[in-house]
Amino acid sequence: MLSVPLLSLLILLPLAGGLLALACGGRLRLARGAALITALVELALASGLLTLTGGAAQGPWLLTESAPWLPALGISYSLGLDGVSLLLVLLTALLQVLCVLVSWRQIDDRPGLYYFLLLVIQGGVNGLFLAQDLFLFYLFWELQLIPMFFLVGMWGHEDRVRASFKLVLFTLAGSLLLLLGILGLYASHGAATGSYTFSLAALAGTPPAAGVQGWILAAMLIGFAVKVPLVPLHTWLPEAHTQAPTAGSVLLAGVLLKTGAYAIFRVALPLLPWAAVPAAPVLMVLALAGIFYAGWIARAQEDLKRLVAYSSITHLGLVVLGLAAWDLMSVSGAVLQMINHGLSTSALFILAGLLQARLGTRRLADFGGLWGALPRFSAFFLFFAMASLGLPGLNNFVGELLVLLGTYRASPVAAVAGFIGLAVGVMYVLRMVQATIFGPAREDLAAPDLNSREMLVLGVLAAAVLYIGLHPGPVLELIEGPVRALLAPGPRVALAVF
Amino acid sequence: MLDGWPVIAPLAILALGGGLIFCLGAFWAGRPSGLLWWLAVLASLAAGLFALSGPATGVYQGLLDVGLYGRLFTGLLALVCLLALLLVRRYALARGFAGEELYGLMLLAALGMALTAGAMHWLAFFLGLEMLSICLYILLAMRKGADQSMEAGLKYFILGAVASSLVVFGIALIYAAGGSLLMGPSLTPAGQAPGGLTLLGLGLVLTGLAFKLSLAPLHVWAPDVYEGAPAPITAFLAAGSKAAVMAALIRLCALLPNGLWPYWVLALWGLAALTMLAANLSALREEKAKRLLAYSSAAQMGYLVMALVGARSGGLSAALFFLVAYALMDLGVFGMLGVLSPVRRDLGRLGELAGLARRHPWRAGFLVLCVLSLAGMPPTGGFVGKLFLFTAAIKAGYLGLALLGALGAAAAFYYYFKVVAAMYLQEPPPGAEEPPTAGPAEVLALGIIAAGLLWLGIFPGWLHGLARAAVATLGG
C-alpha cells in the first residue's frame, strides 16, 4: 500500500487549485494559469496512476483508502479505484484541461470564480467515481450539482437563468429521491443484519429482502435517471446544454451525465440484484424510447448545440441499454461508451462553441458551405460527426458493437431495436454535417480558421478517438476486471420476456 | 441532587448581567451604551464558558437539568445570544435603539431560553417560556418610530399570550391528573396508567409549543413578525427561542410514557407533515427576503419534528445535532440581512439583493453558504443535519413522512435558489443603494457562523457524539 493518499489527492488537488483560482479573483491571467496548472497536474497524476498500477492485472481494486469518519453511524471515508473509475477519472482530467483551454479567450468575466467552479466540479466528480461508501457517494453527488448551476446561470447564453433553474430543480429533486433510497437501504440493511453501515461492499454482500428492494431501487433509479438522462426525465438537458458556456457543455456531457450511468452501474444494480431483474426490461424500454425519441427530435433541431444535446440522450440511451442487459459484454461496452461519448460529444460541443464564437449564431440555417472558408474546422467537424455516428475504426463503433452484441445475448428483441435506433442517428448526423460544412457557401461567413490552441484541443481528442477505435484492447482490459467482479455475485438478468 | 450555585452559574451570570445593565443604564447619567454592550457580551461569553464544564447528569433543586443536556443547551443559547449581540451592535446604533433595554433584555431573554431548555419542572418551564416571550415582545417592537416593528411586537404579543395561556392550562390539567409538577412523575403517576386528562393537557402544551416553533397551522404569524422585527432581533428570535422550545419538546419526547406515545407520535406526525408542506409551499410565491426566510425557518422546524417521531429509535440526537446547525444558519441569514439593510428600513424584496455577488462577493458568498445549508447541500452542517433527520424518520419506519419531507425539500430548492439567483445571476439595478459597511463585531460573528457551518458539515463526529451522550441522560 502506498503511503501517499493518492486517491484523496485526486479529489483535493482540484479543490485546492480551485480555491487558488478563486483567490486570484478578477486577475484573468493568474486565474487562468492557476486553473491550467492544476488541471495539468491532475492529468499527470491520473495518467501516473494508470502506469503505476499497471492496468487491471491485480484484481478489481487497484488502490483503496479508508478512514473512519462517523463510526457511530457506520459512515467511513473510504475510496477505491478500479479500472472503470480510473478511466473515468482520467477522462475527467483530460476534459478538464481541454475545458480550461477552451475557456481561454471565451471567459473574461470573473475568471477566478469561473475556474473555481470548474475545478470544484472535477473534485466532486472524482470523489463520486472513487467513493466506496454510500454516504460519501451522496455527498459528492450533491457537491457537483451546485457549481453547474452557477456555470450555466452566470456564463451561459441568452436564456441562461431559466435553464440553470431547470437544471438544478430536476437534478436536486432527483437526488432527494436518491437520498430516500439510500436511507431506506441503510435502514433495512441495518434492521435485517443488526449492523448499520453505508459501506458499498457490506451492503452488496447482504442485500435487503426482496420485497423492500423494489421501492429502494425505484427511488434510486429515478434519482440516477434524471442525471443520465433517461426519457421522460430528460427535459432539463437540452436547455442546460444549449445555454451553458462551452466548457459547461463539455463537462455536462463528458462528465456529469456519466455520473448517472456510473451510479446505475456501481450502486443501483449491484446493491439490489433481485429488484434489478424486473427493473431491467423497464430500463431497456426507457433506454430504447430515448434512443428513438431523442434521435427523432434531434433530426428536427434548428440549433446546433441543441442537436448535439439530443444526440447525447441517444448515446446515453445505448449506455443504459447495455447496463440493463447486465451481461459482461454489454456492460463493458456500456462503460466504454461512457468514455467514448465523453470524447466525441465533447468535441462536437467544443466545435459548436467555436462556431458560435466566430459567427455569433448556433442556427443551422445560418451555416453551410463552411468547408471552403474553414477547412480545418470542417475536417475536425466531419471527423467527430463520423465518430459520433459509429464509423468503424473510430471509438463509438467498438462500444456500440459490444453493447448490441451483449444485449443480444440477454434479449435479442432489444438488441435489434437498439440497432434500428442507431440508424435513426445516421439521419441527424448527416443532416448536421450537410447543413454545416457542405452545401452552398454563404458569402458573409468570413471568419478565421482554427488557431493552434484550438487545433491542440481537438487534436488530442481526435487521437483518443482513433486510439480507442483502432486499439481498444488495453482500455477494455481495464474495464472488464471490475465489470466481472460486479457481475459475479448477482443473479443473471434473464430477459426471456422480451 | 446537586445544590450549590456553581451548577447554575451560567443562569446566574445572565440574570445578574441583565440586572446590572439595567441598573447602570438607569443610574449612570451618560447611558454608556458601548460599555453596556461589552458587559452583555462578557456575560453571555462567561455564561457559555461556565456551561462547558460540569457533571454528566444532575438536577438543581428538582427544577433544572444541570447535566450534559441542560448544559449543552445553555451553552448553545449563550452562543446564540453572543452572536446576536455582535450582530445587533452597529445595527442598533445606526437606528437609535442601542441602550440598556436592548442588551439587558437580550440577556434576560437568553436566561428565559436557558430556563425553558433545562426545565425539569413545569413551573420552571413556564417561567422560562414567559421570560423569553416577554423579553422578545419588547425586543421585537424596539425599533422606535417603525410601525412595522411595533406591529410585529404586538402581533407576537397577542398570539403569544394565547399560546401561553394554552400552555399554562395544559400544565394545570397535567397536574390535576398526575399530582405532580415535576415533568417526569407528572406524566407517569405511580400505580396508574396516564389517562385522558394528561393527554388533553399534553395536547394543550404541544399546541402552545407549536406556536412558538411556528409549526403549521400555527405558523402564520411568523412571516409578519419576522418581517417587522429588526433583522438581528429576528435572528435572535428565530435561532434562540426555537432552540429553547425545541429542547423542551425533545425532553418531553424522552419523558413520555409508552402508553401515551402512540397519540403523541400521531400529533407530531401531523404537525410535521403539515408544516413541511405548508411552509415550503407558502415560501414558493414569496418575493420578500425576510418573509421567505421566515417560511423556510418554519419548514426547518417541520423537518425537525419529523425526526422526533423517531424518538424511540435514536431520533433525538439527530434532532439535537440539527438544532445546532439550524441555529447557526438562521443567525447567519438574518444576521446578513441586517448587515445589508439600509438604515431607513430593512431589506425587503429579493430583487434588492440583485448583483450582490459583483459588489460584495464575500457577503454573497456567506449568504450562499447559509442558504445552501438551509437547503441541505454539502459541505455544510445543514447537509449532515438533514441527513440525520431523514435517517431517523426512516429508521423508525415513517417512510411516508420522509417522502413528504423530501417533496417539501424539493419544492424548497426553488425558493432557496431564487435567493442565490438574485445575488449571482441578476445584474444590480442602476443607482442601487450601497449597503452600509459592516463593523468588526459583525464580521467576527459571521466568521464564527461560517466556520461553524463548515465544521459541522465536514467533521460532524464531535457534536454528534455529544448529542448522543446528552440525549442518553434524558431517559430518566
Chain B residues in contact with A236 by the CB 8 A cut-off are none
**Taking CB atoms and an 8 Å limit, are A164 and B425 in contact across chains?**
yes
User: Measuring CA to CA, how many Å separate B78 from each of A32, A68, B111, B219, B244?
Assistant: 45, 32, 9, 26, 11
Mean pLDDT of A167-183: 92
Chain B residues in contact with A186 by the CB 8 A cut-off are 391, 394
**Sign of the Cα pseudo-torsion (A475, A481, A482, A487, in order):** positive
Q: What is the DSSP letter of B8?
A: G
Q: Which of B378, B390, B425 sits opposite A154 (nearest CB)?
A: B425
Distance from CA of B413 to the nearest CA of A (A): 7
Interface test with A, best of B369, B394, B419 (most A CBs within 10 A): B394
Nearest one of A123, A145, A114 to B417, comparing CA atoms: A145
pLDDT of residue B13: 94
Chain-centroid distance, C-alpha A488: 25
Evaluate if residue A263 carries a pLDDT over 70. yes
Distance from CA of B327 to the nearest CA of A (A): 22
**Taking CB atoms and an 8 Å limit, are A176 and B409 in contact across chains?**
yes
Pairing of strands A63-70, A75-81: antiparallel
**CA B187 – CA A286 distance, rounded (Å):** 56
Closest residue in chain B to residue A156, using alpha carbons only = B425
Confidence of residue A1 (pLDDT cuts 50, 70, 90): very low
pLDDT of residue A209: 83
Q: Are A155 and A109 in contact (CB under 8 A)?
A: yes
**Taking CB atoms and an 8 Å limit, are B409 and A165 in contact across chains?**
no
Q: Which residue has the cell 397519540?
A: B263
pLDDT of residue B191: 64
Query: What digits encode the pLDDT tens for the residues A72-92?
Result: 888 999 999 988 999 999 999
Angle (deg, nearest 10), helices B399-424 and A145-155? 30
pTM for the full predicted model: 0.92
pLDDT of residue B274: 95
Evaluate if residue A497 carries a pLDDT over 80. no
Task: Examine residue A232 and say whether the peptide bond preceding it is cis (omega within 30 degrees of 0).
Answer: yes
Interface test with B, best of A172, A189, A236 (most B CBs within 10 A): A172
Distance from CA of A211 to the nearest CA of B (A): 15
Chain A residues in contact with B421 by the CB 8 A cut-off are 153, 161, 164-165
Q: Which of A72, A113, A190 sits opposite B464 (nearest CB)?
A: A72
CB proximity under 8 Å: B 411-450 to A: 413-414, 417, 420-421, 424-426
**Sign of the Cα pseudo-torsion (B135, B140, B144, B148, in order):** negative
pLDDT of residue A496: 35
Phi/psi at A79 (nearest 5 deg)? -120, 150
pLDDT of residue A212: 86
Q: Which of A70, A139, A160 sits opposite B378 (nearest CB)?
A: A139
**CA A37 – CA A86 distance, rounded (Å):** 21
Q: Are B216 and B278 in contact (CB under 8 A)?
A: yes
Evaluate if residue A56 carries a pLDDT over 60. no
Confidence of residue A59 (pLDDT cuts 50, 70, 90): low
**CA A144 – CA A119 distance, rounded (Å):** 10
Confidence of residue A493 (pLDDT cuts 50, 70, 90): very low
Q: Mean pLDDT score of chain A, rounded to an integer?
A: 88
- In this structure, of A180-189, A479-488, B371-380, the range with the lowest mean pLDDT score is A479-488
Mean pLDDT of A219-245: 90
Mean pLDDT of A146-156: 91
pLDDT of residue A495: 41
Other Cβ atoms closer than 10 A to B93: 15
3-state secondary structure (DSSP) of residue A263: helix
Confidence of residue A498 (pLDDT cuts 50, 70, 90): very low
Closest residue in chain A to residue B358, using alpha carbons only = A110
Q: Are B66 and B58 in contact (CB under 8 A)?
A: yes
**Taking CB atoms and an 8 Å limit, are B377 and A146 in contact across chains?**
yes
Low-confidence residues of chain B, pLDDT below 70?
1-4, 190-192, 475-476
Nearest one of B455, B297, B314 to B384, comparing CA atoms: B455
Q: Which of A71, A146, A183 sits opposite B390 (nearest CB)?
A: A183
User: Measuring CA to CA, how many Å separate B236 from each of B229, B280, B360?
Assistant: 10, 22, 24
Chain A residues in contact with B403 by the CB 8 A cut-off are 180
Chain A residues in contact with B413 by the CB 8 A cut-off are 168-169, 172-173
pLDDT of residue B1: 46
Other Cβ atoms closer than 10 A to A205: 13
**Sign of the Cα pseudo-torsion (A473, A478, A482, A483, in order):** negative
Chain B residues in contact with A222 by the CB 8 A cut-off are none
Closest residue in chain A to residue B384, using alpha carbons only = A139
Mean pLDDT of A136-145: 92
Q: Which of B417, B421, B464 sits opposite A70 (nearest CB)?
A: B464
Query: What digits encode the pLDDT tens for the residues B40-89?
Result: 999 999 999 999 887 878 888 888 998 999 999 999 999 999 999 999 99
Distance from CA of B424 to the nearest CA of A (A): 7
Residues of A with CB under 8 A from a CB of B: 25, 69-73, 110, 113, 135, 138-139, 142-143, 145-146, 149-150, 153-154, 160-161, 164-165, 168-169, 172-173, 176-177, 179-180, 183-184, 186-187, 190-191, 215
B362 in contact with chain A, both atoms CB, cutoff 8 A: no
Chain B residues in contact with A142 by the CB 8 A cut-off are 377-378, 383
Chain B residues in contact with A111 by the CB 8 A cut-off are none
For B255-282, give one letter per residue: b (16+ CB within 10 A) or e: bbeeebeeebbebbbebbbbbbbbbbbb
pLDDT of residue A357: 86
Closest residue in chain A to residue B383, using alpha carbons only = A139
% of chain A surpassing 70 pLDDT: 95
Chain A residues in contact with B409 by the CB 8 A cut-off are 176
